[in-house]
Amino acid sequence: AAEKKIKIGVIYDYTGPLAGGGSDLQALGAKIMIDHINSQGGVEGYMIEPIYADAQSKPEVAINEAVRLIEQEKVDMLLGFYSSAQCVPVAAKVDSLKKFMWITTCISPAVLKGRNLKYVFRPQVHGAMFGELSVDFLNSNAQSKLGIAPKKLRVAIIHEDGPYGSGVAGGNAGAAKKLGMNIVLKEGYSATAPDLSSLVTKLKRKKPDVILHTGYNPDITLFLRQAKEQGLRWKALIGHGAGYGVVDKLFDAIGDDASHIFNVDPVSIWKLDPKSLAPGLSDITAKVGAEYMKAKPDTKTKSAHVGMAASNALVFFADVLPRAIKKYGGIDAESLRKAALETDIAPGGTLLGYGVKFPKAGESDMMGQNMRASPVVMQYVDRKVYIAWPKVLQTIDPVLPLPKGSAYSKK
Amino acid sequence: MNSKLLIAVVAAVLVALPFLGLDSYPLHLVIVILIWSFAYTGWSIMGRFGLVSLGHGAFMAVGGYVTALLWNELGLTPWIGIPIAMLCAGGLAVLIGYPCFKFRIVGHYFALVTLALSEVVRQIIIATRDTTGGSLGYTPERHGDGWSVIALQSDDRMVFYFVALAVWMAGIVIWRLVDRSMARYALEAISEDEDASAAVGVRVTREKLKVTVLSAVMTAFAGAMYCQYQMFISPDTIGGVGISLQIVFAVVVGGIYNSLGPTIGAVITLLLAEVLRIWIGTEAYCLTEKICLNVAGVPLLVYGIMLILFIIFLPKGIVGAVADRWQARNNGSVPAK
Amino acid sequence: MLRVEGLSKRFGGFTAVDNVDFALEKGEILGLIGPNGSGKSTIFNMLSGTLKPNEGSIRLDGKEIAGTPPHAICVMGVGRTFQIPRPIRRLSILENAALAGFYGQAGAVTRAQAWRSAEEALEMVGLPTDAEAAIDTLGAAGLKKLELAKALATKPSLLLADESLGGLDHSEMDQAADMLKNIREELGVTIIWVEHIMGVLMRVVDRVMVLDHGEKIAEGRPQEVAADPKVIEVYLGSDAEETAAAASRA
Amino acid sequence: MFAEFTEALFSIFFIETLINGLLLGGVLALLSLGLNLIFGVIDVVWICYAEIIMLGMYTIYFLHVDGGMPLILAAACGVGVTALLGWLTHRLVIGYLLQAAPINQLLATGGLLFFFQGAAMVAFGIEFRNLGVSLGSLALSEDIYLSWTRLLSFAIAAGVVVVLYQFLSRSYLGAAIRAISQDREIMILMGVNTKKLYLLTSAIGGGLAGLAAALLALQYDVHPFIGLSFGPITFMVCVMGGLGNMVGGFLAAFVFSELITIGGYFAELEWGYVLAFAFFIFAMFIRPEGLFARKS
Amino acid sequence: MLTLKNVNAGYGDFQALFDVSLDVRAGEAVAVIGPNGAGKSTLMRVISGMIPATVGHIEMEGVSVLDAPAHDIVGMGIAHVPENRRLFPRMTVEDNLRMGCFMPQFRAKYEARKDFVYELFPRMLERRNQMAGTLSGGEQQMCAIGRALMSDPKILLMDEPSAGLAPVIVQQVFDLIERIRAEGLTVLIVEQNVRQVLRIVDRAYVLESGSLRLEGTADELLQSAEIQKSFMGM
Ligand SMILES: Nc1ncnc2c1ncn2[C@@H]1O[C@H](COP(=O)(O)OP(=O)(O)OP(=O)(O)O)[C@@H](O)[C@H]1O
Ligand SMILES: Nc1ncnc2c1ncn2[C@@H]1O[C@H](COP(=O)(O)OP(=O)(O)OP(=O)(O)O)[C@@H](O)[C@H]1O
Ligand SMILES: [Mg+2]
Ligand SMILES: [Mg+2]
């Protein structure tokens, strides 16, 4: 009997600067999950037929590929996307073509905010949440750990100026302002800037206690290196995903001085306590990890990127797709949309730990955004990743301020 | 006669194209190619006279951004916005061109000054991110569903196809008009020897400026078109050094001295990129356990090699080479270099 | 028709042309001679607008033209040739001349008119007028002729001919000299002619002006100048006798 | 607003900015040296020059990190590899285009740029690779630290300029290198093998790229696209200094870097670049032959 | 000393020399004269290797010139003062001279040759640090000849050394050539200034349309009515 199948266009950046910034790893996560589902015999009699495509780190290529996959390859839906610069135009395009799009990664609020898209869903945390969480973390710990009242806390916000960095920084600034923190500097820069020494100098002049940083990979290592060499000091450095999620690179770049850096990200799926998750999920986590190591045997510390894409893809395959097929009778965009709107996963129900629920029409200005998603604050200590915040998930008591002995610690 | 017939046939095929059951995606490609072809044609109008500008990314960006900003911020219809954008690009061309020509900045120097221009414009777009969206890109606001004449927006590709086709043809016509004009002789002369040209009465600065402004304005128009069609622009998709180089490469591959050269260049380079990307896909091939090749890099690699081979072996581009062959067969002789 | 007063040109600290005065009557041929580097071409460059003088005035038919851009001066009726021929190799011979005819003539010119004046000019100097003939088919002499033809196609009233004979063989030199005479006689063009080949120059010109180190050191009829001891010392050397002979032959 | 500005101006950190500019200038100078040499001699803009540097960085990375070679030795090998690449670039591409239109030469090296990027991606993948070596910094005061890597870049750039200047003005080979840029055809009459001389120049230029690579590898992650961050600036430095003018290029690097850092200090970072590029355009208008070209 | 046998040469498809044979004996001065475009410069270029010969033999003291790589020819003792001088304009006089001494085997003699050239042309000593491009025409010609002499050649090829020069300077240049001859150098010279050149050479060849048409001693040619008519304007 002819097997039924669902054709999915999977788009990430396999080339260009973003590839190494994490997109490549996200793509791996999605692929591992798709292979896993197929090895389980597919979903409700449907095998998954992925068509992988490379957006080459360029928005116009992403648009082209999206259109091609939909119109030429006649895929039933799209999944993936790493860069928000691509998500913004592609989501608009796909929605106007009335096709279903499941975003695993792009986090910029701009993708969904105020756009009222009908067919685009994002189980992923959005950028402003990152920014808000880091400020919340500071608010709760400034007095106790740093001995500084939150209102007195000097905060600097720096970010790569793409949609991702700007989105997160917007969240940072909004939350910090609301809490009355002292924002001494807020500045964006291009991720390909060959020199950040002026930025470091400005930071030194403004003497922030805490630096909130959002960036991709090369700019983060450049910043850390120049900060170290120019003698920039802080009490805490909080990164926000992307480049900060690739732990190995941080330690490769600046050695042990990368210790005690914080990173706000969806939790690394391998760091979660299996007991906090729904039964069966931890087996999948383990399997994803095993496949990951098979694909990239050199890995020292498993990056959160792989798990993130795997988890977000799994939500679709395990929850949305079966409902669409069983309840709404198909895999067309309309059925998938209805199924997605009914998703209601409680916390602990995904590999990433958070639950999933999308807003009903009119409920939010961010239609398609998972309202139950939340990142965590992690802290890296000696190449190990610990969860520092929120309190319920803590696996470490956050080390704050930066202990003496680090090149970045205040004398 | 013969060539007129050929043109008629080509025109008929082009007009009939969407009715010949061309799928939506190929139609999309054709539209994109037409828009780029127009931009490339615009570049070659000056490029063929040795005015190698690496600054056309700037003009294209001005075309797209000014049009979109006017629409979003002031609600000014692109019908007015595009002419304003073209005016801006023309102004920018004068701003950079006049001193360049006055001070005799030619050759590599001109190329690099204009290269700096595209970087300046790109950086300014990025730096004014509060208005332009920075490297996030910029989207003209939709004016309802379906298609809107006032906003020059359309969901229907067919409409855009015919607009793009008309624009492209206009580009070819402009190219030919310049080619037949007296200005062409003047510019050929200028490109070889400015002093000698001035000595026979040619107004060097003015002639150069005229063609530069024409070229810039055409490129800006292409930028606006691109924006209206894709409904998205970003500093890297229609501005910056990358785009400037893309334009130059395509024209050289196609043939700089022929009206159809830029178009052929667009067809070849854009299709090549498309085909290579799709064909090669995203898999990694491992030679051994440890040594894996990332074949995603192959398109870039092939593109590079092709470009080099083209330049070494077909320095006049594809159209130029074909035309030479054609001429040689008709004359039974070898064409002069 | 041309009146030059106090003309000077300096390059950095070096004075290439130093306070030179001279005047020309309509239809005259003036020979401009002087040692290498004495400023002859520099004077031409200033007359034709390629260089701006530092001081001095140049009046053409009473109108001041010093500092006017070269294309404007060309249109006002000053044609020039370059010492080293500068043809446009990408254009055919005819197109080279037609370009000059189109842009260099005063008033609005149609294409047909431009091409006609180009053909006339080419015929005058004895170059082919068929549309296809390429520059590459010309030798050194042909290129010199083309320089003249380009200048003539602009219908000049004043022609500046810079070393039109350099590198030509004897028979060609004679031809060229005759041609200059013809141009004056048939078209009534006033000519300034720079040349190092005295045997030919002296036969053709009405008057000679001699420069040395940018300064005018002598001026007068050919015989007088050829006999001037100063000119003999700085310029003619042992050629003086032959020069004088040529001058008297005129 | 104004108070903020004056405060920034009279702050110790403004001095740090000036020093940073100086040190960045060292990096830019080093980057542009080889390109300038090639530019001046062969009169071809190697758009792919920054990509040769990138390949040099990879060489050093692999030899040092994977091969366990001492850094100095790895750097020396890097210089060797880039010299070879420079040689090959001329041998396989430019050599065929010496008579071609300048635009075609420029574009051919553009083709090489894509080729090098693609090749790097195929061979090394898209990962960012980091040498993980830091030379630390020199503390001038409580507040001001100078990066040793940058000091080293500065010193090496200055040293190389002096050596190159001596080489070009004193040696026979140097004279030939200057001469060939002025009249290629008659070099044969001097008994100069022009092909060899071009190849030699290309190799020296390439080798200088390797030197730059060694110092960049200490400061930046290596990835196939790193060249894009440096390419345009490098060309402009060369042009602003006067093509083929080593000393001019060296000085221009500092003008550029100071503009970038000072602009970045008073406003957002991009404005530094806008300032530098705009100044470049302006400088071309007032001194088209290069800011530091001697009047001939 | 220098012998050409049945040499053909040209540019691309264009053939400029047809079956040219000539020889120059040691110590001689030989002129090549002919109308424009006859191929005189082409002949010089073939000998010095600037363009390849398509057919024929060229021998210098019994050694085949054509078998040697072009850039080694100057090492065989053939120096060429090209048409239009072709100095390196943005290099000093001294650097130009140095380039004449480029080949490794000449370098040891650099100082001695330089002194020789400065002795020959005291004007050059005066101008040694001036950019060659700013020299006057006559000075440039001196510099070009000096540069060729730096390699201590056995034969000097000169292509229209008097072109574009003022009469006094032309005289100086011819004097100069005589002085060089007096130093024992063999000279092959191309000139338009036929009358003067025939006064200083021993023999001359007449080249027309790429072929040799006449050959004779200077005196014979000076007397020849045909030569007088076509090359001296008499
Ligand atoms: N653009 C320039 N910059 C500097 N010096 C110049 C320039 N043009 C000419 N000169 C100098 O001015 C002087 C006069 O040059 P000019 O060309 O007028 O001489 P000329 O009389 O035409 O000589 P010739 O007979 O050799 O052609 C020369 O010394 C020359 O080097
Ligand atoms: N580089 C070249 N490419 C093509 N043809 C050339 C080239 N140089 C010379 N010719 C042609 O070769 C022929 C001989 O030229 P050549 O320069 O040897 O003549 P010549 O006798 O030296 O003339 P002149 O007295 O003008 O210097 C001429 O017809 C000329 O057009
Ligand atoms: Mg002159
Ligand atoms: Mg000759």
Confidence at residue B334, expressed as pLDDT on a 0 to 100 scale: 46
* pLDDT in the model for residue B1: 43
How distant, in Å, are the alpha carbons of B207, C141, C195, D222 from that of E37? 36, 9, 21, 59
Q: Is C16 in the pocket of ligand 1 (CB under 6 A)?
A: yes
pTM for the complete prediction?
0.86
The answer to whether chain D touches chain B by having 3 or more C-beta pairs less than 8 angstroms apart is yes
**Would you list the DSSP string of B78-123?**
HHHHHHHHHHHHHHHHHHHHHHHHHTT--HHHHHHHHHHHHHHHHH
**Res A2 pLDDT > 60:** no
- Residue located nearest, by CA, to atom 9 of ligand 2: E42
Class of the CATH-defined domain E1-77+186-234: alpha beta
Contact B297 D120 (CB under 8 A): yes
Whether A378 contacts A267, CB under 8 Å: yes
Q: What integer is the mean pLDDT of C221-232?
A: 88
Q: Tell whether the torsion through CA atoms of E135, E136, E137 and E141 is positive or negative.
A: negative
Residues 6+ apart with CB under 8 A from E116: E149
What would the mean pLDDT of B242-258 be, rounded to a whole number? 88
Q: Is D15 on the interface with A (CB under 8 A)?
A: no
Please give the torsion angle defined by the CA atoms of residues D168, D172, D178 and D180, in that order, rounded to the nearest 10 degrees. Answer: -150
Flag whether B233 is in a domain.
Answer: yes
Tokens 């409700």 label which residue? A44
Residue in C with minimal Cα distance to B180: C111
Q: Is the pLDDT of residue B39 over 90?
A: yes
E-strand ranges in B118-274 read none
| % residues pLDDT > 90 (chain D) | 29
Residue B225 lies in a domain: yes
The 3-class SS string of chain C reads CEEEEEEEEEECCEEEEEEEEEEECCCCEEEEECCCCCCHHHHHHHHCCCCCCCEEEEEECCEECCCCCHHHHHHCCEEECCCCCCCCCCCEHHHHHHHHHHHHCCCCCCHHHHHHHHHHHHHHHCCCCCCCCEHHHCCHHHHHHHHHHHHHHCCCCEEEEECCCCCCCHHHHHHHHHHHHHHHHHHCCEEEEECCCHHHHHHHCCEEEEEECCEEEEEECHHHHHHCHHHHHHHHHHHHHHHHHHHHHC
Residues in chain D: 296
Task: Decide if pLDDT at D103 tops 80.
Answer: no
Residues in chain E with CB shorter than 8 Å from the CB of D176 are 99, 102
Residue B17 lies in a domain: no
CA distance E4 to chain C (A): 25
The whole domain housing B109 covers: 23-331
Taken in order B308, B311, B317, B318, is the CA torsion positive or negative?
A: negative
The model's confidence at residue A225, banded by pLDDT at 50, 70 and 90, is confident
Residue-wise pLDDT tens digits, C236-248: 887 777 777 777 7
**Residue identifier of the C-alpha nearest atom 22 of ligand 1:** C41
Q: Which residues pair with E29 in a beta bridge?
A: E187
What is the percentage of chain A residues whose pLDDT exceeds 90? 26
CA distance E19 to E13: 16
Domain boundaries, chain E: 1-77+186-234
Residue B197 near chain C (CB below 8 Å): yes
Whether E62 has its CB under 8 Å from any CB of chain C: the answer is no
Residues of D in contact with A198 (CB under 8 A): 17, 20, 260-265, 269, 272
Chains touching chain B at 3 or more Cβ pairs under 8 angstroms?
A: A, C, D
User: Which residues of chain B lie closer than 8 angstroms to A72, CB-CB?
Assistant: 23, 25-26
Ligand closest to the CA atom of residue C18: 1
Over residues E40-67, the pLDDT tens digits come to 999 999 999 988 888 899 999 989 988 8
CB interface of C with E, residues 186-205, below 8 Å: 196, 198-200
DSSP-based three-state secondary structure for A44:
coil
Token readout for B164 is 């793009």
Q: Does A14 touch chain B (CB under 8 A)?
A: yes
C167 lines ligand 2 (CB under 6 A): yes
Structure tokens at A411: 């004398």
Read off the pLDDT of each residue in B278-300 and give the average, rounded to a whole number.
Answer: 71
Residue A31 — pLDDT band, cuts 50, 70, 90?
very high
pLDDT at B336: 43
- Is A168 strand, coil or helix? helix
User: Could you count the other beta carbons within 10 Å of the beta carbon of residue E167?
Assistant: 24
Query: Domain count of chain B?
Result: 1
The alpha-carbon gap from E33 to the nearest alpha carbon of chain C, in Å, equals 10
Beta-carbon neighbour count of residue E226 at 10 Å? Answer: 11
B306 touches chain D (CB under 8 A): yes
Classify residue B205: in a domain, yes or no.
Answer: yes
Chosen for mutation from D49, D58, D98, D103 (greatest number of chain B CBs closer than 10 Å) is: D103
Select from C15, C33, C38 the residue to mutate for testing ligand 1; criterion: most ligand atoms less than 8 Å from CB: C38
For testing contact with chain D, the best of E71, E76, E135 (most D CBs within 10 A) = E71
- In angstroms, what CA-CA distances link A379 with A260, A271, A303, A304, D48? 6, 12, 14, 13, 41
D86's enclosing H/E stretch is helix D71-88
Which pLDDT score is estimated for D294? 52
Cα(B207)–Cα(B45) distance, integer angstroms: 13
Return the pLDDT at E158.
92
Query: What is the number of CB-based contacts under 8 A between chain A and chain B?
Result: 94
Give D185's contacts in chain E (Cβ within 8 Å). Answer: 50, 86
Residue E234: what pLDDT?
54
Candidate from D101, D122, D268 with C-beta closest to B301: D122
3-state SS class at D233: helix
Share of chain B above pLDDT 90, in %: 38
Q: What angle do CA D247, D253, D257 make, to 5 degrees?
A: 155
Ligand 1 site-directed mutation target among C7, C33, C40, most atoms within 8 Å of CB: C40
The answer to whether the beta carbons of residues C220 and C210 sit under 8 Å apart is: no
Closest CA to A321 of A20, A106, A8: A8
The residue whose CB lies within 8 Å of the most ligand 2 atoms, and thus the one to mutate among E11, E46, E48, E80, is E11
The HSE-up count of residue D79 (CA atoms within 13 Å, CB side) is: 13
Whether the predicted pLDDT of D209 surpasses 70 = yes
Q: What is the distance between the alpha carbons of residues B158 and B169, in angstroms, rounded to a whole number?
A: 17
pLDDT (0 to 100) of residue A244: 86
Give the pLDDT band of residue B328 (cuts 50, 70, 90). confident
- Looking at residue D131, its pLDDT comes to 81
Mean pLDDT of B253-270: 90
Q: How far is CA D250 from CA B109, D167, D247, D282, D292, in A?
A: 18, 16, 5, 19, 10
Residue B141 has pLDDT above 90, yes or no: no
Q: Which of D47, D52, D109, D121 to mutate to test the interface with B (most CBs of B within 10 A)?
A: D121
C-alpha–C-alpha distance, residues B316 and B329, integer Å: 17
Is the CB–ligand 1 distance for residue C83 below 6 Å? yes
Ligand located closest to C35 CA? 1
Tokens coding A288: 């994803």
| Helix (H/G/I), strand (E/B), else coil: E63 | strand
Tokens representing A153? Answer: 């806390």
Q: What is the pLDDT of residue D296?
A: 40
**Is C in contact with A (3 or more beta carbon pairs below 8 Å)?**
no
Q: What residues in C contact B193, CB-CB < 8 Å? A: 86, 88
Check pocket membership of E36 for ligand 2, CB cut-off 6 A. yes
Out of D178, D185, D189, the one facing E74 most closely (by C-beta) is D189
Tell whether ligand 1 has an atom less than 6 A from the beta carbon of residue C36.
yes
The residue assigned the tokens 């040697």 is E68
Do residue E192 and residue C169 have CB atoms under 8 angstroms apart?
yes
Instruction: Respond yes or no on whether ipTM tops 0.90.
Output: no
Mean pLDDT of D156-173: 90
Look at ligand 1, atom 4, and give the residue with the nearest C-alpha.
C11
Q: Which of residues 116-145 of D touch A (CB under 8 A)?
A: 121, 125-130, 132, 134, 136-137, 139, 143-145
Q: Which residues of C touch B335 (CB under 8 A)?
A: none
Phi and psi at residue A381, in whole multiples of 5°? -130, 120
Distance CA A46, CA A34 (A): 12
Pick the CATH number of D12-286 from 2.40.128, 1.10.10, 1.10.3470, 3.40.50: 1.10.3470
Q: Enumerate residues 198 to 217 of chain A having a beta carbon within 8 A of any beta carbon in chain D.
A: 198-199, 201-202, 204-205, 217
Residue D56 confidence class, pLDDT cut points 50, 70, 90 = very high
A337 vs A382, higher pLDDT: A337
**What CATH number is associated with residue B92?**
1.10.3470
Beta carbons of E164 and C166 less than 8 Å apart: yes
Q: Does B10 reside within a domain?
A: no
Q: pLDDT tens-digit profile of A164-215?
A: 888 889 889 999 999 888 999 998 888 878 889 889 998 988 889 999 999 8
Q: C10 Cβ partners below 8 Å, 6+ apart?
A: C16, C54
Q: CB of A240 within 8 Å of any CB in chain D?
A: no
Confirm if A319 and A389 have CB atoms less than 8 A apart.
Answer: no
Instruction: For residues E42 and E32, give the distance between their C-alpha atoms in angstroms, rounded to a whole number.
Output: 11
B157-180 helix and B24-47 helix, angle to the nearest 10 degrees: 20
Nearest CA to ligand 1 atom 2: C11
pLDDT category of residue B332 using cuts at 50, 70 and 90: low
Nearest Cα to Cα of residue B222 among B243, B242, B208: B243
End-to-end Cα distance, chain B: 28
Judge contact between B29 and B267, C-beta under 8 A: no
Distance CA A73, CA A82 (A): 21
Average pLDDT of every residue of chain D: 86
- Find the C173 Cα to ligand 4 centroid distance in Å: 16
Q: Label residue B289 by pLDDT band (50, 70, 90).
A: low
Decide if A94 contacts A71 (C-beta within 8 A). no
Question: Please, what sign has the CA dihedral across residues E173, E175, E176, E178?
Answer: positive
Name the percent of chain E lying above pLDDT 70.
99
Tokens, residue A182: 């002292």
Share of chain C above pLDDT 90, in %: 49
Look at the block and give the residue holding tokens 């002419």. Answer: B83
- Tell me the CA–centroid distance for residue E132 and ligand 1, in Å: 13
Cβ(E234) – ligand 2 distance below 6 Å: no
User: In the prediction, which pLDDT does A211 show?
Assistant: 93
Give me the residue label for tokens 């050599």: D95
Plot region of C62 (φ>0 → left; ψ -120 to 50 → alpha; else → beta): left
Q: Is E13 in the pocket of ligand 2 (CB under 6 A)?
A: no
Buried/exposed code over D108-135 (b: 16+ C-beta within 10 A; e: otherwise): bbbbbbbbbbbbbbbbbbbbbbbbeebe
The DSSP annotation for E71-139 comes to GGGGGGTEEEE-TT----TTSBHHHHHHHHT-SHHHHTTHHHHHHHHHHH-HHHHHTTTSBGGGS-HHH
Q: How far is CA C93 from CA A139, C75, C133, D37, in A?
A: 83, 21, 6, 40
The helix, strand and coil proportions of chain E, stated in percent and rounded to the nearest 5, come to: 40, 30, 30
